[in-house]
Chain A
Amino acid sequence: MTWVLRHREMALALLIAAMVVAVATYAPAFAAPASLLGVLNDTAFLFMLAVGQTMVLLTRGIDLSVAANLALTGMLVALVGQYGPDLPGPVYLVLAAVIGAGLGLVIGGLIGGLGIPPIVVSLGALAIYRGLIVVIGGGDQVNASEMGAGFQAFPKVALFGLTSPVWIAVAIALAAQVFLTRSRTGRSLYAVGGNPVAARYCGVSVERIEVLVYVLSGAIAGICGYLWVARYGVAYSEIALGYELTVIAACVIGGVSIGGGVGTVPGALLGALFLGVVVNALPTMQVSPFWQMAVAGAVILGAVVLNARAEAQSGKLILPEARRT
């Protein structure tokens, strides 16, 4: 049991399982296979974005522009879909990844190249990207009727009851896991976040790593942008409004440290799943829609507090003097 508690991922997985069981005793329909698969389908975007954000957080950064990037990229590919030929879904997927990576490069360049604090840069980019959606869309939205069939079909393709966004999330998560645990560059992410000065002494180019993580996070946001717009059949300026905070909450619940250097892909995925279960369980438990947001927030806070306590108990006192004064 102590072994389980010591491994944050295991503890979180048990917590999620307990939550599913508890909800199912109250509302048995929730535990039906179709319903559980539905939870995964609904959470696919959160999985992907949490993985991207994890890489940013590992380097002591933060990317508040992911949801705005998602919406802007979604609008751009929707316009391509509206005015261009009807291309197969994967082509849009690649296009969206490139656009998203470009938007990520802009903030990565400012953060890594010029050394401006990530929170300032990504907050500024958030406003600019949201604003640009209105500009390029001429203030209008792109509706399902204006999107081609190929454009819209891709996110609805399903295999074993899971739609393509879930499978793409699986692919992204696997790639990120290999990248972070088995590659030199991936290891550098932990070094940069764990101790940027030491990383520099070891010959790691901190600036390049910083640019890289925002590009990767941006590419993932871009992919989500296409899938989101195509799945819900609408592109406009307020898509995924405020979603960046949900993404960061998922990472934190999953044990990714805002202070950098600590976190894993499985942790971030479980954090996202935790939120996915909460959000999907509340309506089935007939919690009043007025209360759902507040309850979800309270559950998030509770999970974070539990995490913080687990951290404190491990007895790490790095700077005893700093704590005294």
Chain B
Amino acid sequence: MTPALSIRNVTKRFPGVTALDCVSFDLLPGTVTALVGENGAGKSTIVKILTGIYTPDDGQVLVEDAPARFASPKDAWGAGIAAIHQETVMFDELSVAENVFMGHMPGGRLIDRAAMVARTEALLTRIDADFGASVLLKNLSVAQKHMVEVARALSHKARVVIMDEPTAALSRHEIGELFTLVARLRAEGRAILFISHKFDEIFRISDRWVCLRDGKLAGQGLTAEVTEPELVRLMVGRPVDQVFPKRQISLGEVVLEVDGLSNATEFADLSFDLRRGEILGFYGLVGAGRSEAMQCLFGLTRPTRGTVRRDGRPLTIRKPADAIAAGFAYVPEDRQHQGAALSLGIRENTTLASLAAHVKGWFLSAGSERRETRMLGERLDVRAATWETAVGNLSGGNQQKVVIAKWLATRPRVVILDEPTKGIDVGSKAAVHDFIGELAEEGLAVILVTSELPEAMGLADRLLVMHEGRIVARFTRGDWSAEAIVAAATGAGDKAA
């Protein structure tokens, strides 16, 4: 059987990281192929290459054995490759028909509305949709929007349909409907690439599987011939305990006690404590509610329930300024949106959260700011031409170091690091890891939110695993296994106690 799509030795490098390293696999017509792998294994890079957003540095993509080059998303559509994303990217204020035919509307200079609506209705009938072609997209549910995306794929006569975590926002019933649709697409002979973190879905819907790990192909085969533990082992697949030498730190007294922290939708009943010198890991899949919980702890959102105590005394945190005053520091996940002010210099960024310390008399003292910036910058090994260089001109790793410097400048007691090494190069990563150990050694209490298993297992003293807004498992160093942690995070079973 001729593969609908083949990926041959595809390599994609970004500054400092190789996102995909010589990856090859085929998608066969009439087959659902599940693509599995940890966060950062290269799954989304594959999707972006297949949809023409990235071009591979090396290797090629074949469409029915003919080499293809996708310089833009339009080329990918033209080759019959359609992608359905976890959050639908469409036009809320336009009708279903307009969404389906956006970019290739029937007619010449003027749109042939009648033909467009008729063809959309025909497509909707084919997939058993329960809504019409003239409904505005904003009036549809997420599941219905997925159906519109499928109709859009069909309108392109797509041979290959990529579904990137399509069930993330769906209810159980809606997932059932989606799977019926997937079965129908398969019966029509289309090749489907199905990306999901949920093992039950993978085993329910897929015929074949492909596993990526650290940008490399870790394995592939028939779904009927693999077991869940085997897949988990392939995803994790390395002796993670040796990656970072853990510093030996004796733990001090309890600094922070959180009891029953909940908010309306994103997390519930979080209880944990934290000691001086301790690194407490929060592991989980993207969307498990970890960042939301940390933002709440830092006063960016209000909890509906729960208490927070520092040194045994209850705290009332209404806004970030309260949290900063209470000795909290929060290094957020999304540097560009939440961390650094890119147009400002390293000095301005470093002192932003602790400006009061630099007021001499009536005015800010640039000299005092420079001393602090130099001290922290040298300690964190920030590489820049001068301390006045705009942070936007630094590499990702150096930007992250500046954000960390900003929070150290507040002389915190509890440091919350949210995905501190996300998207930074390998060298900076090691420096950040080393530094996290140093912080703990100095007696700070550290909360480490991470989606990278080696990082979690390498640094944390204790590890809390969150799944769908709750802490589902608690592990202590030495008493854990990668398989058990991943199983808990994916909600695969109750092996973890």
Q: Which residues of chain A have a CB within 8 Å of any CB of chain B?
A: 178, 181-184, 187, 190-191, 193-195, 197-205, 257, 260-262, 314-316, 318-319, 321, 324-325
Contacts and interface: CB of A to CB of B under 8 A. Distances in A.
Given A184-B364, A325-B73, A203 B342 contact: no
A321 B53 contact: yes
29 contacts: A181-B364, A182-B362, A182-B363, A183-B363, A184-B355, A184-B356, A184-B359, A187-B352, A187-B355, A190-B348, A191-B341, A195-B340, A195-B341, A195-B342, A197-B337, A198-B339, A198-B352, A201-B320, A202-B324, A202-B352, A202-B353, A203-B320, A203-B324, A203-B353, A204-B352, A261-B343, A262-B343, A316-B393, A324-B53
B372 to A, nearest CB: 14
Contacts of B337: 195, 197-198
Given A190-B343, A199-B341, A203-B324, 7 more contacts: A184-B356, A191-B341, A194-B341, A194-B344, A198-B341, A204-B352, A262-B343
A316 B392 contact: yes
A154 B117 CA distance: 71
Contacts of B336: 318-319
Given A197-B338, A200-B320, A187 B343 contact: no
Contacts of A316: 342, 390, 392-393
Interface string B329-370: 010100011111111100010001101100100111000000
B364 A201 contact: no
A191 B352 contact: yes
Interface of B: 53, 73, 298, 300, 319-321, 323-324, 330, 332, 336-344, 348, 352-353, 355-356, 359, 362-364, 390, 392-393, 406
A202 B321 CA distance: 7
A201 B319 CA distance: 9
Contact of B342 (A181, A183, A184, A318): A318
A183 B319 CA distance: 22
Given A195-B340, A202-B353, A318-B336, A183 B320 contact: no
B342 A194 contact: yes
Given A316-B392, A318-B392, A324-B53, A198 B364 contact: no
Nearest to B403: A198
B89 to A, nearest CB: 10
A257 B341 CA distance: 14
A181 B355 CA distance: 12
B363 A178 contact: yes
A202 B363 contact: no
Contacts of A318: 336, 342, 392
Contacts of A202: 320, 324, 352-353, 406
Contact of A201 (B53, B73, B330, B356): B330
Contacts of B363: 178, 182-183
Shortest beta-carbon contacts, A-B, top 10: A194-B341, A203-B321, A182-B363, A195-B341, A261-B343, A202-B353, A184-B355, A194-B343, A203-B320, A197-B338
Contacts of A190: 341, 343-344, 348
A202 B329 CA distance: 9
A248 B76 CA distance: 43
